[in-house]
Structure 1
Amino acid sequence: MHQDQTGGPTATGLLATGLRWQDGVPQLTATDGRQRHARPLTDGLPVAWRIAGPRRCVGAHTEHGHRDCPHRATVPPEGTAGQCPSCQNADRGLQLARDRILDDGRTYRLYLAWFAPGLLKVGLTAEERGTVRLLEQAALTWTFLARGPLPAVRRAELAVARGKLARERIPAAAKYPGWWNLPAPAERHAALTAARTRAQRLLADHPQLTPLPDHPVTDQVELYGLTDGAPDQYRQVKAVADGARLTGTLRRPVGGHLFLDPPDGTPLLLDTRLLTGWTLHDEPAAACDGLTLLPRARPTAEQDALF
């Protein structure tokens, strides 16, 4: 059974629209075509989903809120994109990412996020969103660098990236290996603090930018359940098919990624973007099925020495 926002159950399948963090709690969001539903994804939660097609566009986030796809378009079953081209063009987040919105009157914050040794990201987020963007991206350690209007913060983001202090974009697959061999919290803190000092020197005297030199460094490793790292072995879900089944027990979500312990014992890692646009039915199953899986294992010391 699915739980809606008022706590009432619905027996029908729901179209998955994504994973969002609200008040520090990750929630799987979905719609029945009339109202939106949200299901908290907590450590130890049992799930049993049948994934049914066709895979449909999940609509767009606009300045007026979420808009359902006016065409009820279908989207390709493979990949993480759950929007048709029309809704991609209308989506506010994608417009910002593609520099199609140059200024919207809001205040933005520039952040620096640490994902692994040598893996730093610089980005921006609307101040009104708080820390949600850092939770969504599975940032392990992060801090805010500055605040200001969008044009100033975007110029600062480009300056940090072009100065090769951090990247603008880091694909999800690049983050996974770092979960196996996390340095101690003090080392993560020191690495990010040193990078922040270099970035603030680079951004000194940038017009319309207000530095935030005393903003604390936040570590989210424990929140994600990665204190002891990722499982030594797991299977990464690369694709789902119509009729696939996901069953097992969830661990704490890591940004938009779910570790799930299935009945056969070898954990699965699922990027929840693979679920968007599919209809999820709560149905018991004895095993997972219909998934394309990639085995992943912690590198051994001997393997590390070769590279």
Structure 2
Amino acid sequence: MRWRCAGVRWRKGVPGWRWFHPEHGDRAGGELRLGAAVSLAVPDGVVRECVGVVRAGRRLPCPDAAATPAAAVRDQCERCAALDRSQSVAADTVPDDPRTYAVYLAWFGTGLVKVGITAQERGPARLLEQAAVCFTFLGHGPLMSARRTEAVLGAALGIPERVRSPRKRAARAALPPSEERAAELRGRYEAALAVPGWQETLTPAPYELVDHAAHFGLEPRAPRPTARVTGLAAGAALTGTVLAVAGSDVYLATGAGELLLDAHLVAGWPLCRPEGDGLAPPPTEPMAAAGQEGVTPEALF
């Protein structure tokens, strides 16, 4: 049995690799700070496996050790994904969750604003995971009140509860100045306050802009990747320097130019450091030909 990558997790505001082992559980790996080196390889003769399910902070291994496709951004098999949905706030299968939830407005680019909810105890972690360039909280309260507010504000303001990854990525390449970002988000916040009813069931939060652009590495210059990794493969190696990390998207400077790696594609692989010559780079495709990448499923909480 091998240690396998569990993808990228944001911890205390810093992204880093996570690892899991069927017998030894999870552990943190190296941090992905701006300017850090990334050097990984997939050994010959291995396959990518389902990452299982996390319950109460503990990972339950996939009972089938099911193989998952190299190009799939979802890192679970159908059986484990169904088990995840059976105990998911996002799927409304745990309406009695006693935790306090916060409603937020997240800004990803000009005209790209969404409303969402997250457990208040998580602070800004969900916004970092979603690659929100900036955000503000609207209010907090019980789960079902937060859920109703999310639906009411989405309908009243004409904003979605999800922004797809291709649109987020395209927007990052052309961010307006911070003043414009703040003004658009402030306008949405004030419009939300004008919607009647929801403040009777939630405790409103004052407008407080949090801007992640520089923290992600999108300022003073946003990366301009010309290609994206489409999946790892046995015998492949990838080496580069971290230019930016937004959510699960890792932007790397490599010998072949700037490259986008969706860390979802790394989850489930046993990895090692590249050794010797003859290792091939992972398969890639031009960003323009990919239409700025395919849809990445997002766990909402």
TM-score category of the 2 structures, normalised to the smaller one: 0.7 to 0.9
Q: In terms of mean alpha carbon deviation, does 246-255 or 21-30 score higher? A: 246-255
* Among candidates 22, 33, 47, match of residue 38 of structure 2: 47
* Change over 3 Å in CA distance of 1:94–1:120 after alignment to 2: farther
Question: 2: CA distance between counterparts of 1:247 and 1:205?
Answer: 49
Question: 2: CA distance between counterparts of 1:64 and 1:225?
Answer: 29
Question: 2: CA distance between counterparts of 1:217 and 1:204?
Answer: 24
Structure 2 residue aligned with 1:167: 160
In structure 2, the residue corresponding to 1:95 is in which secondary structure? coil
* Change over 3 Å in CA distance of 1:80–1:57 after alignment to 2: same
Deviation at 1:48, TM superposition (A): 1.9
Question: 1: CA distance between counterparts of 2:72 and 2:186?
Answer: 36
Question: 2: CA distance between counterparts of 1:271 and 1:56?
Answer: 17
Any conservation in 1 of the 2:67–2:77 contact (CA below 8 Å)? yes
AA of the residue aligned to 1:95: S
Structure 2 residue aligned with 1:261: 253
Question: 2: CA distance between counterparts of 1:285 and 1:94?
Answer: 45
Structure 1 residue runs of 4 or more that deviate by more than 6 Å after TM superposition: none
Deviation at 1:158, TM superposition (A): 1.0
Structure 2 residue aligned with 1:121: 114
Question: 1: CA distance between counterparts of 2:273 and 2:225?
Answer: 27
The superposition leaves residues 181-219 of structure 1 with CA deviations (integer Å, 9 ceiling, x where unpaired) of 21111110010000011112225445421111x141111
Between structures 1 and 2, the one with greater strand share: 1
Deviation at 1:26, TM superposition (A): 0.7
Structure 2, unmatched stretches of 5+, are: 290-301
Quick check: 1:241 aligned with 2:233? Answer: yes
Quick check: 1:21 aligned with 2:10? Answer: yes
* Among candidates 124, 127, 141, match of residue 134 of structure 1: 127
Q: In terms of mean alpha carbon deviation, does 202-211 or 218-227 score higher? A: 202-211
* Among candidates 19, 34, 54, match of residue 30 of structure 1: 19
Any conservation in 1 of the 2:138–2:204 contact (CA below 8 Å)? yes
Task: Tell me the TM-score normalized by structure 2.
Answer: 0.86
* Among candidates 269, 273, 276, match of residue 282 of structure 1: 273
* Change over 3 Å in CA distance of 1:247–1:93 after alignment to 2: farther
Quick check: 1:272 aligned with 2:272? Answer: no
Structure 1, unmatched stretches of 5+, are: 1-11, 298-307
- CA-based RMSD of the aligned residues comes to 2.3
Listed as ranges, the matches of 1:1-307 within 5 Å are: 14-33=3-22, 34-38=24-28, 39-52=30-43, 53-63=46-56, 65-91=58-84, 95-212=88-205, 214-264=206-256, 266-284=257-275, 289-296=281-288
Any conservation in 2 of the 1:41–1:253 contact (CA below 8 Å)? yes
Any conservation in 1 of the 2:225–2:251 contact (CA below 8 Å)? no
Deviation at 1:86, TM superposition (A): 2.3
In structure 2, the residue corresponding to 1:178 is in which secondary structure? helix
Deviation at 1:290, TM superposition (A): 2.9
Deviation at 1:230, TM superposition (A): 2.5
In structure 1, the residue corresponding to 2:67 is in which secondary structure? coil
Aligned residue pairs total 284
* Change over 3 Å in CA distance of 1:112–1:253 after alignment to 2: same
Any conservation in 2 of the 1:51–1:278 contact (CA below 8 Å)? yes
Question: 1: CA distance between counterparts of 2:198 and 2:125?
Answer: 28
Task: Tell me the TM-score normalized by structure 1.
Answer: 0.85
Structure 2 residue aligned with 1:301: none
AA of the residue aligned to 1:116: G
* Change over 3 Å in CA distance of 1:58–1:194 after alignment to 2: same
Question: 2: CA distance between counterparts of 1:285 and 1:216?
Answer: 51
AA of the residue aligned to 1:251: L
Question: 1: CA distance between counterparts of 2:122 and 2:249?
Answer: 20
